[in-house]
A and B are shown apart, each in its own frame.
Chain A
Amino acid sequence: MGKRSIIPYGPQHPVLPEPIHIDLVIEDERVIEAIPSVGFIHRGLESLVDRRDIHQLTYVIERTCGICSFGHGMGYCETMEDIFGVEVPKRAKFLRTIWFELSRMHSHLLWLGLLADAFGYENLFYQCWRIREKVLDLIEMTTGGRVIFSVNKIGGVLKDISPEHLRLIDSSIDDIKAELEVIKKTFIEDSTVQSRLRGIGIITKEQAHALGCAGPVARASGIRCDMRKRGYEAYQFLDFEPIISDAGDCFARCYCRLMEVFQSIDLIHQAIGMIPDETDISIDVKGNPTGESFIRIEQPRGEAVFYVKASGKPHIDRFRLRTPTFANLPGLCEMLKGAELSDVGLMVVTIDPCISCTER
């Protein structure tokens, strides 16, 4: 047995601008155990239920994350709508779905760029983020925001998308698709990319299930689970199948997220083709509800669980958000065991960690 030592990784690291700290117990150059700790930026957003009413909370919860902000606001609104027992107008469901898929596109493109940066392919990083800008432009055009959209409300959405803008989105995402095809070829076929990703950080299907992995991390290990199949919002009308791989390595996680960008383009096309020509985009929801609800949605990083308990008072009793990264941390610890020290940074990136989400 070689000499064991502990190397601290993070909370500040060149590869990962996220405040997670991992104690890496290493023997020679190989990781024996990884012990994570978070909590550097705990914000206590969940405790704001005491100080904000149910409608104001929509905007607080949206600020949980700067990448998947739209989904957090939408998930909270769905949970409250379930407690109120109301159904939002059909057009609002389609609008939410379009914005949600645009969010997924920009989140995955951001991650693909970070991955390229992590394995040292700077040009690929630039290309991913250049394409992502076009998605952000579409979001800004329709909501006015690039990071925080603030278009969700309990009972529907605050803004509509005009027919001209829908047509523009429809054509723009085809242009984006053409550009994606070029970077797809690099990610999937380039030998230098493959040499850095294939066979590294493997999580088997059984491990992923036992460790409670979520989203692309689970699907890359062969688990056919995508919360969009629950049929919330307009997904009940759209035709798609979860994208899975069975290799469970860093390449599989890259493949799943890359192909999900193409899937999002297809879903947006479908949604634009089926969006009802109505004027109602929200209903009035008033009063202080009583009840509790658990709602799950598929955020770009995976399953997010929203829990609200209310008892007829102006403020709800409890709001809880279990973010996808929280679910993927045990999987990360497992995949790091046995890894080469030089691969640690890359492997951490492949779970697409969002620590600000996790700490809420």
Chain B
Amino acid sequence: MAEVICPENILEEIQLGELLPTVMEKKNAGMRLAQACAAFIDGKFELSYSFSDDKTYQLVTLRVVIDPSEEVPSITEIVPQAVFYENEMKELFGVKIQMITTDYKDKFYRIEEVAPFGPKKEDA
């Protein structure tokens, strides 16, 4: 029978100001960015950055909850492959992400609607 490696996932809620240092900490710990995504729930953006330890299969998700008007620093200087995740958050949700290394300027997804998953005008 195979050796099973299945640690519990960890969810760490952090403040916006802690994002870059915590991402750097995960990178320095040898973890890989497995995914990043946004959700718009109850008038707030929930940003999730999941890091995987590929030796232990541990998944650690950093959760940042912000107002739609807040600006988020890009993590692409630390984790270059976040560029597509951040462009997706920006285009589909309207998250204001600053200083993405390659900013597609709303051309990553060729869709007509602006931020279709984000706040609607009546929410604003």
How many B residues touch A, CB cutoff 8 Å? 38
Which A202-241 residues have a C-beta within 8 angstroms of B? 209-212, 223-225, 227, 229-232, 235-240
| CB-CB nearest in chain A for B39 | A318
Q: Are A330 and B4 in contact (CB under 8 A)?
A: no
- Which one, B34, B80, B111, contacts A210 given CB within 8 A? B80
A267 smallest CB distance to B (angstroms): 10
| CB-CB nearest in chain A for B10 | A294
**Is chain A's interface secondary structure helix, strand, loop, or mixed overall?**
mixed
Is B6 close to A, CB under 8 A? yes
Give the distance in Å from the alpha carbon of A353 to the alpha carbon of B2 in the complex. Answer: 30
Given known pairs A236-B2, A296-B59, the reply for A322 and B37 (CB within 8 Å) is: yes
A336 smallest CB distance to B (angstroms): 15
Is B121 close to A, CB under 8 A? no
Known: A42-B109, A229-B5, A296-B34. 11 other contacts (CB 8 A): A211-B81, A212-B79, A223-B54, A224-B54, A232-B6, A238-B2, A239-B1, A307-B48, A317-B41, A320-B35, A330-B83
Q: List, sorted by A's number, 25 A–B pairs whose CB atoms are closer than 8 Å.
A: A38-B109, A39-B111, A42-B111, A44-B111, A44-B116, A47-B117, A209-B30, A209-B54, A210-B80, A212-B34, A231-B2, A231-B4, A231-B6, A236-B2, A236-B4, A237-B2, A239-B2, A294-B9, A294-B59, A296-B52, A296-B59, A305-B50, A307-B37, A322-B34, A326-B84
B residues engaging A (CB < 8 A)?
1-6, 9, 11, 30, 32-35, 37, 39, 41, 46, 48, 50, 52, 54, 57, 59, 61, 79-81, 83-84, 102, 104, 107-111, 116-117
